[in-house]
């Protein structure tokens, strides 16, 4: 004896293939819909992920520590002391992958022909290598050798604007700790190329010790920046550092850069809305397929009820048909998405619209990102909303009056 569920599942499976053309068309629609959900989600996730990681790599870090007034007035007046023993111990904990302290102040850079405003960044090259783009972006010359190296590293685009080149001398002008204008000549020892031209124009890198001497800062620094394993989950780490440095401003990357931070929240909401919109389009086809199947079997369902089958079993049978249809469509859609994403994991070249992407803070190479949570969300939405959409034809089938269903066309 078969259990009612197994029996109803067998009947539902056979009913689906009575009209195999209609079933195959619906399966194709569900598969393409699921593929579109996952495909577009992967592209959007990759776009936002690149924007966030690019910003983090662009001297943003995961967490920054400043003087409370530094963000409003990024001058030497709002510098901080180097980390003490307690803060150093907190920064060296396993949750933190790397950290460094920097000098970061406004300055003017001048060549023989041109001048331009930049951000003067004093770095320790060894510590900076794990936090920012600089060490991997040098295309001419070499990076700073140490924190007291005498040279300066600038961007390729900045060198073009200043009409200068590797090996030439430039002059940096800024204000020291006494609010006195100071200037010093530096020889260009390295030129870097970044993904965004705005980055190449924005910064001039010198050794941290040289910058402290140049600006009469003693051993003070402008900021401390660090990165952890995951840029999304920083609450616990923030609380620990804030407890260690209560007099300083300890903020996460999304507070430093609210625009990029808001993109993450918008992305998560967009994914859910996109999935629901695609499925709503599919639901009309699903309801129509099941409604037609119920209408064609009206007399058969009435006869089953007359022979003693309970309306609840008829309802369950139609729902099982819907679930089988959805599961087959999900299987094919997920497989199709995987087959279409794997070949482009090395990136999609969008250099044809590179200038427009740069305005949005994006690279010209787009790397799709597939997260299990996005796939699970798409599959869950399809199953849940699919069953809800199937309730209408299922309830209609269960409410047939046996005599009317058998005698009336």
What is 141-153 written as a DSSP string? E----STT-S-EE
Taking alpha carbons only, the member of 148, 153, 145 closest to residue 170 is: 153
| Residue 98 β-bridge partners | 227
pLDDT at 405: 46
> Using CA of residue 88, residue 92, residue 96, residue 101, what is the dihedral sign?
positive
Confirm if 96 and 62 have CB atoms less than 8 A apart: no
Which residue stretches of 56-196 are H helix?
A: 85-91, 125-128, 156-162
pLDDT at 287: 72
Residue 236: which residues within 8 A CB-CB, separation 6 or more? Answer: 95
On the 0-12 / 13-18 / 19+ scale of CB atoms within 10 A, 121 is buried
Cα torsion through 218, 84, 224, 238, rounded to 10: -160
Query: What averages of pLDDT result for each successive group of 10 residues across the chain (409 residues)?
Result: 72 80 83 86 82 84 92 89 89 90 94 92 92 90 91 94 93 89 93 87 94 91 91 87 91 86 76 79 73 65 66 78 86 91 78 57 71 84 80 67 51
């Amino acid at each position: 004896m078969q259990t009612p569920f197994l029996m109803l599942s067998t009947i539902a499976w056979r009913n689906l293939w009575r009209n195999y053309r209609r079933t195959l068309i619906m399966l194709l629609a569900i598969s393409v819909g699921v593929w579109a959900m996952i495909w577009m989600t992967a592209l959007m996730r990759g776009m936002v992920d690149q924007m966030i990681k690019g910003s983090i790599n662009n001297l943003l870090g995961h967490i920054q520590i400043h003087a409370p007034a530094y963000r409003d007035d990024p001058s030497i007046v709002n510098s901080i002391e180097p980390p003490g023993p307690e803060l150093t111990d907190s920064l060296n904990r396993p949750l933190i992958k790397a950290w460094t302290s920097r000098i970061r102040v406004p300055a003017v850079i001048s060549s023989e022909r041109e001048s331009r405003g930049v951000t003067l960044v004093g770095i320790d090259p060894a510590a900076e290598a794990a936090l920012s783009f600089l060490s991997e972006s040098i295309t001419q010359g070499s990076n700073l050798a140490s924190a007291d190296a005498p040279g300066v590293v600038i961007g390729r685009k900045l060198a073009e604007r200043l009409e200068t080149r590797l090996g030439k001398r430039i002059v940096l002008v800024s204000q020291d700790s006494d609010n006195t204008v100071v200037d010093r000549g530096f020889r260009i020892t390295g030129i870097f190329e970044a993904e965004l031209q705005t980055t190449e124009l924005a910064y001039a890198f010198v050794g941290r010790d040289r910058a402290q001497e140049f600006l009469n800062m003693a051993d003070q620094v402008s900021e401390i920046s660090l990165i952890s394993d995951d840029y999304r989950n920083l609450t616990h780490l923030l609380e620990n550092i804030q407890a260690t440095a209560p007099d300083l401003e300890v903020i996460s990357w999304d507070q430093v850069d609210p625009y990029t931070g808001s993109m993450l929240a918008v992305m998560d909401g967009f994914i859910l809305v996109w999935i629901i919109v695609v499925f709503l389009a599919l639901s009309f086809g699903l309801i129509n397929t099941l409604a037609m199947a119920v209408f064609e079997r009206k007399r058969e369902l009435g006869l089953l009820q007359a022979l003693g089958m309970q309306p609840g079993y008829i309802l369950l049978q139609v729902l099982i048909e819907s679930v089988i249809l959805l599961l087959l469509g999900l299987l094919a859609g997920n497989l199709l998405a995987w087959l279409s994403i794997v070949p482009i994991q090395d990136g999609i070249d969008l250099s044809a619209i590179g200038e427009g992407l740069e305005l949005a803070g994006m690279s010209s190479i787009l790397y799709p990102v597939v997260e299990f949570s996005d796939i699970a969300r798409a599959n869950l939405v399809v199953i849940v909303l699919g069953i809800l959409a199937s309730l209408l034809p299922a309830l209609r089938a269960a409410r047939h009056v046996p005599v009317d269903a058998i005698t009336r066309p």
